[in-house]
Amino acid sequence: MKQKLNALLTWFGIGCFVLLGCLPLPVLRGLGWLIAQLAYPFARERRHVIATNLQLCFPDLSEQQRQRLLKRHLVAFVQSFLDRSILWCQPAWRVRRLVRLSGLEHAAALGDQAFFFLGAHFVGLDAAWTRISMEHKLIGMYIRQKNRVFDQWMRDRRDRFGENLGLTRQDGIRPALRALKQGFHFLYFPDMDYGPEDAIFVPFFGIPAATITATSRMAKAAGAAILPVTIRMTWRGYEVAILPPWPNYPSGDDAADARQLNAWIESLVPSMPEQYFWVHKRFKTRPPGVAKVY
């Protein structure tokens, strides 16, 4: 009985979410702003994580400046979540209008060579996935949700425009390597703290951060090029840009490749600091002997 009730409540929530997608974008963004203001007093744990990250990464900002940035991030985070009601539920023409995609010629120039789309955890990452999946068969990593009904619905919605392959970390890299040989392309967001396994500590905004080496290892194993992808939320929607491939990557030096990845993300943040995923505990794993920060 409890399981059926949970399923009914989940479908009710999904129905409300689908209806949100019918709203004009300015109304949806305004609703996101309002929800962020209402949720602010109750999001103590998230606020603590964001504040800690901002203090570590932007020590030169004043407390007032960091507090304003924290509030702007919460707004962008909620707005991007509500935008998924368009990305997941609205027709293709509206998704194309919401997400402006450029740089497809860089992928076309690679011909039959395998390649990765390499992104970072900015709030518009789902916009990038949805829009690029309309042009290419994608492989992506995702975290399985505890609610099975929502998990299956979310996967179906994310994959509705193309033939995609969703993997978890537990699946390992072999399914991804096989799919690359079958014409799929990896859209990969490696800038999260997954723990010490398969990770090395390299600086991120001057702070040692556990950074996975799978990006360069998989690219080397597949003979794949790396096409960086930038993602920016705008008042009109999102701008997703596919950039030319990184030369000499992977270099054969995992530490150097990880430093290049983190330095690239650092270069993107200043122009849209409120859009990076500060809600994530990026510095949760610490080097031996170093105190925890959260």
Q: For 95-248, list the strands marked E by DSSP.
A: 99-102, 115-118, 138-141, 165-167, 185-188, 199-204, 207-212, 225-234, 237-242
Does residue 294 fall inside a structural domain? no
Residue 270 has a pLDDT of 97
Q: Please name the residue that has the structure tokens 């194993």.
A: 221
Residue 12's pLDDT is 94
Q: Is residue 194 part of a domain?
A: yes
- Cα 248 vs. chain centroid, distance in angstroms? 25
pLDDT in tens, 64-103: 999 999 999 999 999 999 999 999 999 999 999 999 999 9
Residue at 286 is within a domain: no
Is the residue at 112 inside a domain? Answer: yes
Range of the domain at 240: 2-275
Q: Is residue 139 part of a domain?
A: yes
Work out how many domains the chain is built from and give that number.
1
pLDDT for res 197: 87
Whether 284 is in a domain gets the answer no
The Cα 180–Cα 187 span in angstroms is 11
pTM reported for the whole predicted model: 0.94
